[in-house]
Structure 1
Amino acid sequence: MAEVKANSNTDKAKPEAKKSAKKDEPKDTIWSRREFFSLAGWASFMATLGLSSLYFTRLLFPRVLFEPSPIFKAGKPSDYTVGEVSTKWVKAQRVWIVRDMEGIFVIFALCTHLGCTPRWLKTEAKYKCPCHGSGFTKTGIAFEGPAPRALERLKIELDPEGQIIVDKSKKFLYEKGEWDKPGSKLLV
């Protein structure tokens, strides 16, 4: 029985010798198939990790849009002539400043139909929306087109230095009778 065990031990030794003989043979390629797929897997894992870290780094620096303060100084009342609509602030603040015989008021340049910016047509003495043709009088009342209501007025007041202060966060609606409220018009 000892001989049988010895034979079985020698049989076990033979496959190990065969394996070591295969390892010693020169390779025809740089990597074996197993090594190639292992490297490819690690490379794709590292690429995914790198791209993900770039994405998360981008989240640390969000795009912040600058929004100007809703309160701004618009000069002195003497800067505005009676009967004129000032278009000086349309691009920067989206407002018109109007001076009539009673005083000065500010109209928000936003069409009440779909939010387009109307244009002041001096020759026709009206605001005209280029999107759908809504028309508004010099005071901001809708008289033509699909606009459902008048343009909004904004709060206006004088500071202690005599400068006009416009507050775009406070709006006055014609339909609610707010154009007669204090702050909707500056009596000069």
Structure 2
Amino acid sequence: MDNPSGPGTENKTLPQAGNPPVVSSSTSPPAVAPPQSKPPVASGAIKKPKQDKPPEHDLGIWRISRRNFFSLAGWAAFFVFLATSTIGTLRMMFPRILYEPPSAFKAGFPQDYIVGEVSEKYKDDYRVWIIRDSEGFYALSAICTHLGCTPRWLEAENKFKCPCHGSGFRRSGINFEGPAPRPLERLRIALADDGQILIDRNIKFLFENGDWVKPEAFLKYS
């Protein structure tokens, strides 16, 4: 049966059964938004400073950074420790030896001394005075009995005077002023085989014990 057509009637093509509708190829693609441009930077805006590397100090051929500094400090500490340990070990292997003069020594011949003389020849090395009187010789320890200072012989005042605390001793060694609690000590004195005066500082004679009358506390010589 023919489809009637008439004026005002549009010719339309109907899709056949079972076929999907065809989309017209004239459809335009979706619009893409244009890229946004960055806002202009104001001329007075502050720019963020760039982060620089840690500062380096130029010392000739050395360029020292913070990392290098701590590395060098660590090595320096190590070498200081090593040197200290080495010195300590050497001191243990080679201990310091203090010179100590011998306790016994020869002090020359009797005729070398003048009657009435207080000889200070051996005071500095041995801390001993050698005194000659009309009957012979005796040796006094040049150590103050107060606190161990070395008294001085004052020829004009005929006495020994300690510069530390003012103790005074007569020519014989008897204390008479100041804080010294007792007289000076006398030392063993004798004649050696070769005729020289021999003094032994290890053998002492104390006045308060009555030792000054012992034979070795006084050398008779005329």
Q: Any gaps of 5 or more consecutive residues in structure 1? A: 1-35
- SS for the counterpart of 2:86 is helix
Query: 2:128 is matched with which residue?
Result: 95
Structure 2 contact 128–142 (Cα < 8 Å) conserved: yes
Letter matched to residue 96 of structure 1: W
Q: Deviations over 1:42-92 (max 9, x none)?
A: 958964456423421332111110101011100111111111111111112
Query: 2:116 is matched with which residue?
Result: 83
Query: 2:100 is matched with which residue?
Result: 67
Task: Give the percent of matched residue pairs that are identical in Structure 1 and Structure 2.
Answer: 54
Select which of 150, 153, 163 maps to 1:117. 150
Letter matched to residue 218 of structure 2: K
TM-score under structure 1 length normalisation? 0.74
Q: Deviations over 1:87-143 (max 9, x none)?
A: 111112111100112210000001001111000011111101111111101000001
- 1 or 2, which has the higher helix percentage? 1
Query: 2:179 is matched with which residue?
Result: 146
Larger CA Rg, structure 1 vs 2:
2
Q: Deviations over 1:128-172 (max 9, x none)?
A: 111111110100000111100000000000012110000001010
Query: 2:137 is matched with which residue?
Result: 104
Letter matched to residue 78 of structure 1: Q
State the number of aligned residues: 155
Q: Quote the Cα distance in structure 2 between the aligned partners of 1:72 and 1:162.
A: 13
Q: Quote the Cα distance in structure 1 between the aligned partners of 2:83 and 2:153.
A: 54
Q: CA deviation at 1:184?
A: 0.4
Q: Any gaps of 5 or more consecutive residues in structure 2? A: 1-67
TM-score under structure 2 length normalisation? 0.63
Q: Quote the Cα distance in structure 1 between the aligned partners of 2:129 and 2:83.
A: 52
Q: Quote the Cα distance in structure 2 between the aligned partners of 1:148 and 1:158.
A: 32
Letter matched to residue 84 of structure 1: E
Letter matched to residue 178 of structure 2: G
Q: Quote the Cα distance in structure 2 between the aligned partners of 1:45 and 1:147.
A: 53
